Amino acid sequence: MSDDSSVVVFLRMVDERLQSFKDHWHDLFAVLPLEDREAKLKSARVTLTAAEHLKGALSSQDYPTWLVPVIKELKYYVTTTHDKSAGSRLLTKLTLRAEAILNYK
């Protein structure tokens, strides 16, 4: 495999992981306002996994500024059972980062 084709393969992998994260992020936004806690947790876990996969594909110097804080908030949400406001907190934090996430390429 030539150097150029290796770069193309790497960029395609990063693009796929980014798109996967964005797709799951959209799904999470759809379920967070609902009452079904299990559906919200499932969606948050899947989104967290996609965010961690994206993070794993990048050097720490190349992380988008929103990635680590989003992972932190998702981890808080999926591990917190005592905080009744965790869902609204997550929704607020994700909304504040929405433009940066959607525009990231």
Q: Dump pLDDT digits (tens) for 34-57.
A: 889 899 999 999 999 999 999 999
- Residue 51 is part of which domain span? 3-103
| Of the candidates 58, 93, 55, the residue with the CA atom closest to the CA atom of residue 74 | 93
pLDDT tier for residue 2 given thresholds of 50, 70 and 90: low
Tokens of 42: 């499932």
Domain total in the chain: 1
Gyration radius from the chain CA atoms: 15
pLDDT tier for residue 7 given thresholds of 50, 70 and 90: confident
pLDDT at 3: 65
d(CA 14, CA 88): 30
d(CA 89, CA 94): 9
